[in-house]
Amino acid sequence: MTPSAAAHAGTTKFSTSDHGAADDAAAVDGAVAGAGGLDAGHPLMDGRTADSPLITAYRGGKPSRRPVWFMRQAGRSLPEYLKVREGVAMLDSCLRPELASEITLQPVRRHDVDAAIFFSDIVIPLKLAGVGVDIVPGVGPVLDVPVRTAADVAALPQLTWEALEPIREAVRLTVAELGNTPLIGFAGAPFTLAAYMVEGKPSRDHLGPRTMMHADPETWTALANWAADASGMFLRAQLEAGASAAQLFDSWAGSLGLADYQRYVAPASSRALDHVRDLGAPLIHFGTGTSELLVAMRDVGVDVVGVDYRLPLDEANRRLGGTVPLQGNIDPALLSAPWEILEAHVRDVIAAGSAAPGHVVNLGHGVPPETDPEVLTRVVELIHSISPE
């Protein structure tokens, strides 16, 4: 964590429900396993990735070249992905280590991006814990039974370290092939996971979880803490197995006002990250539609803040007081625009990002499935051609 970010994290006081605060603190202490840092053979420790452009930028240093990777770079925009996924369900592809590793590596080979992002899904921790969930094509995550009462939360199975072995194996296989290119681990943030669990399926407005926060805050806190521990364990498995950084995705946080985020969501996000802080890897926080939440998202204690396409990076940096490196924020819609328009936009993003203590170029959302992969390769070449001064 950069010193300024650590200072903010250390002084922030989250508003929380009074329900079971001492028990929650004890639960976090008990859930964080194996504190003590990374093994000597980890890529961050043995010289493979510590000085890479990505990690250097995440830590506020001067990279040898301008780093870039794309959210959803491993996915339906790549013909090689479609080929290996033929006849394999989404969650199955995430839980077959050799397949998950191959999919993770594909965009690195094709685009020469500066990081791999682990191929998985935010509901994998639920699946591995024994929660009935599947990815329905054209719909998204669907739970067998929504979680809406205190009894529902109490009945949730607990994720175990043993159940995470397919994840660790996939990461080990991937890191063995990546060489000096860092792997980024990821997990869904507790609010986004809990929102799916309450609604039972994707929702436009997330009324269910937003209502539960106020109508039954004790049950909400218990559910958010369950999700936080599942996400935190998922992140730790990836980092210990070889990932060099970790990103917490809060896809649905943009549906919240600042007060609700600070009171009902930030404590759980911080709890998830508590599982991995001792490892010393850079931590990134990203959400969509979260321009008004950026400071609160930083203050859960992260090193880098991801910014979606709605807010210019220089304005994001101003709001954050220049305290942390930024990641983002090419508008995915422009990937299908004429090249001269896309090129000008990429240059604008880089110029705006120069105000921050560090900048990793990314999209302001995931790669659209219809994106021409040749365009992404060309964008990477453009970014690498621009001096990181």
Could you report the per-residue pLDDT of 288-344, keeping only the tens digit for each?
Answer: 999 999 999 999 999 999 999 999 999 999 999 999 999 999 999 999 999 999 999
Decide: 183 and 175 in contact? Cβ < 8 Å.
yes
- pLDDT tens track for 180-214: 999 999 999 999 999 999 999 998 889 999 999 99
pLDDT at 382: 99
| End-to-end Cα spacing for the chain | 23
**pLDDT tops 60 at residue 228:** yes
Does 196 participate in catalysis according to the annotation?
yes
Q: Is residue 215 packed enough to be buried (19+ CB in 10 Å), middle (13-18) or exposed (0-12)? A: exposed
Strands 116-117 and 183-188: parallel
CA distance 110 to 78: 9
Q: Which of 72, 236, 263, 271 is the catalytic position?
A: 72
User: What is the CATH number that goes with domain 3-385?
Assistant: 3.20.20.210
Residues 6+ positions from 186 with CB-CB distance below 8 Å: 117, 118, 120, 122, 235, 238, 246, 247, 248, 249
Does residue 219 have a pLDDT over 50?
A: yes
Name the pLDDT band for 23 (thresholds 50, 70, 90).
very low
What does the pLDDT read at residue 36? 52
d(CA 101, CA 109): 13
Instruction: Indicate whether 15 pLDDT > 70.
Output: no
Q: Which is the catalytic residue, given 24, 81, 110, 196? A: 196
Helix 217-241 vs helix 165-178: angle between axes, to the nearest 10 degrees?
A: 40
- Give Rg (Cα) of the chain: 20
Catalytic residue among 24, 48, 66, 121: 121
**All residues at 6 or more sequence positions from 10 whose CB lies less than 8 Å from its CB, including other chains:** none
For residue range 97-132, list pLDDT tens digits in order. 999 999 999 999 999 999 999 999 999 999 999 999
DSSP 156-189: PPPP-TGGGHHHHHHHHHHHHHHTTSPEEEEEE-
Q: Which residues contact 235 (CB under 8 A, 6 or more apart)?
A: 185, 186, 187, 246, 248, 272, 273, 275, 276
Catalytic-residue membership of 348:
no
Model pLDDT, residue 18: 37
Average pLDDT, the chain: 92
* CA gap 45, 34 in Å, rounded: 17
pLDDT range class, residue 389, cuts 50, 70, 90: confident
Residue 14 has pLDDT above 80, yes or no: no
Residue 96 designated active-site: no
Q: Is the pLDDT confidence value at 8 over 50?
A: no
65, 76, 96, 310: which one is catalytic?
76
Domain boundaries, the chain: 3-385
In a 13 Å sphere around the CA of 121, the CA atoms on its Cβ side amount to 22
pLDDT of residue 33: 38
Whether 72 is catalytic is yes
Asked if the model's pLDDT at residue 28 lies above 50, the reply is no
Single pTM value for the model: 0.91
Q: What's the average model confidence in pLDDT over 167-191?
A: 98
Strand-pair partners of 135: 141
Mark whether 121 is an active-site residue: yes
Q: Are strands 133-136 and 245-250 parallel, antiparallel or unpaired?
A: unpaired
- Give tens-digit pLDDT for 30-71: 333 333 599 999 999 999 999 999 999 999 999 999 999 999
Binned at pLDDT 50, 70 and 90, residue 1 comes out as low
Q: What are the CA-CA distances from residue 48 to residues 55, 77, 178, 288, 359 (Å)?
A: 11, 29, 9, 32, 21
Beta strands in 80-132 (DSSP E): 116-117
